[in-house]
Structure 1
Amino acid sequence: MSRTHHHGFELPKLPSLLRHALPRFVEGVIAPVAVFYAAFALLGLNGALVAAVTWVYGGIAWRYLRGHQVSAMLVLAALGVTVRAALAAATHSPVVYFLQPTLGTLLVSMAFLASVPLRRPLAQKLATDMVPMPEAFLRHARVRQFFLRISLLWSLVFFANALFSLWMLFNQSIGTYLWVRTSVVALLGACAVGISLFGFRRCLQHVNREPALAA
């Protein structure tokens, strides 16, 4: 008697992934920068801080009114923005507002890096949060090796992001920082996503070509 263990997995189509990710990217990256900068240009620092906080809590209220789930992560993010805005208002410095998330990015880079020697790649955890994958597939040696390498890649991306952001923050105007930094970070992220998807597809091709194991 034989048992078949198939570790194959099919990645959702790219348009489907983009439809899922693009609105979140616009909402979480592009829109906050546009709101803050527009308010900063028209109303000054305090007006920009109020606009940033209003944007975040408005997003939470919009989800709640539409019957969508408000995640604990989103609530924590809103509290973080509130604290950042309060500190920036108290010090009258927009640098303080942007310094905290930049340091947070540096910590994320360290977390990705630390997950590699621990053999618990953070890239795998994030990928399975977005696209559920079977355990048999995730246990495959080639898949585990892929996620370890991608965790290293994202550690480098976040580290470069943090260093560039810090340099921009202390050497350029806030307007230049907002748009140039956002553009560079988006480009770095897009390249890393492209490399990740390309590598994952190649990994899938190798794994799915292997015959199912029989016992």
Structure 2
Amino acid sequence: MRGGDVQELRMIVADVSSAPALRVAPDPPHVIDMPGWRPIVRHAATRMFLVTLLPMATFYVTLSLFGLRTAAVVTASLYYAALLSRVVRKKPVLAAGLLAAGLLSLRTVVVFCTGSAFLYFIQPVIGTLAVATLFAATAIAGRPVLDRLAHDFCAFPDELSTHLRQGRFFNRLSVVWAATYATNAVGTVWLLTNASLNGFILFKSVLGPTITVAAAAVSYLVFLMTVRGQNIAIRWAHHEPWRPAKTGPCTATSGRT
């Protein structure tokens, strides 16, 4: 090989080695259409008011005017009226709602027979701890019960649910809500043993929703991290009203954001 050819070959090799490496374009994210988060927040806030704040306010006012037994009966009647209104309007009544009605009936009977506010408020703690244990145990077993319960709030498309399972989203979600329920139970017991009845009702009505909102925010962050890890982009349709699960499933499309 002549000297000129060798020099030319060296120049070609140098050019190739100095050329930037070819970059493989990343796959476009899979886009999932979801209802806007603002309607979801409004829906959740309405539910929190009806389920937590309104019953506590009703109990407190009735307690101040008529006593413990009457307050328990009126609060239970309010819950039954809410369930009846859903039946009359032909709205679905979840099994959890019926279970809560049965437990509330038991609490009302106990307080009516004993007149003990401590027994009335300590009974839900047992159920709260049971739920926390259920969430944690099923997550450890690899079959989180929240995989099914989450679909009561939003009917995730099957493909999205598969990606969420691959990203262990429901396992992480179980840890978040198990800790939330355990904190709620411990806080309730502490308030019952250290605060007056009026003080307990006041602090419980504030701290309960605060803990729930904090857990919901953490759950949302875990959801975002999971979908990003699975190369999924969420497209929030803020113009759409809230649609309950199983009546307006989310839809999925492919493309770039």
RMSD: 2.3
TM superposition score normalised by structure 1: 0.85
Tell me how far apart the structure 2 counterparts of residues 201 and 10 of structure 1 sit (CA, whole Å): 14
Alignment of 1:101-116 (within 5 A): 101-116=124-139
Q: Is the Cα–Cα contact under 8 Å of residues 105 and 159 in structure 1 kept in the other structure?
A: yes
Distance in 2 of aligned mates of 1:209 and 1:177: 44
CA contact (8 A) 2:129 2:181 kept: yes
Instruction: State yes or no: 1:201 paired with 2:207.
Output: no
The 5 A counterparts of 1:64-79 are: 64-79=87-102
Matching residue's letter, 2:230: V
Structure 1 residue ranges without an equivalent (≥5): 1-5
The structure number with the bigger radius of gyration is 2
Corresponding position of 1:140: 163
In the alignment, is the contact (CA less than 8 A) between 1:116 and 1:151 conserved in 2? yes
Number of positions where the alignment pairs a residue of Structure 1 with one of Structure 2: 206
TM-score for the superposition, normalised by structure 2:
0.72
Are 1:86 and 2:109 an aligned pair?
yes
Structure (1 or 2) with the greater strand fraction: 2
Gaps of 5+ in 2: 1-28, 234-253
> Secondary structure of the residue that 1:116 maps to in structure 2?
helix
Aligned to 1:42: 65
Q: Which amino acid aligns with 2:225?
A: R
Deviation at 1:57, TM superposition (A): 1.6
The aligned residue for residue 26 of structure 2 is none
CA distance in 2, matches of 1:153, 1:184: 17
CA distance in 1, matches of 2:30, 2:148: 18
2:44 equivalent in structure 1:
21
The structure with the largest helix share of the pair is 1
SS in 2 for 1:10: strand
SS in 1 for 2:67: helix
Hey, which bits of structure 1, 4+ residues long, moved more than 6 A? Answer: none
1:195: how far off? Answer: 1.2
The residue type paired with residue 147 of structure 1 is F
3-state SS of paired residue (2:42): helix
Q: Which has the higher contact order (CA 8 A, sep 6+)?
A: 2
Q: Distance in 2 between matches of 1:27 and 1:139?
A: 33
Q: What fraction of aligned residue pairs are identical, expressed as a percent?
A: 29
1:83 Cα offset (Å) = 1.4
Question: Shift in Å at residue 12 of structure 1?
Answer: 2.4
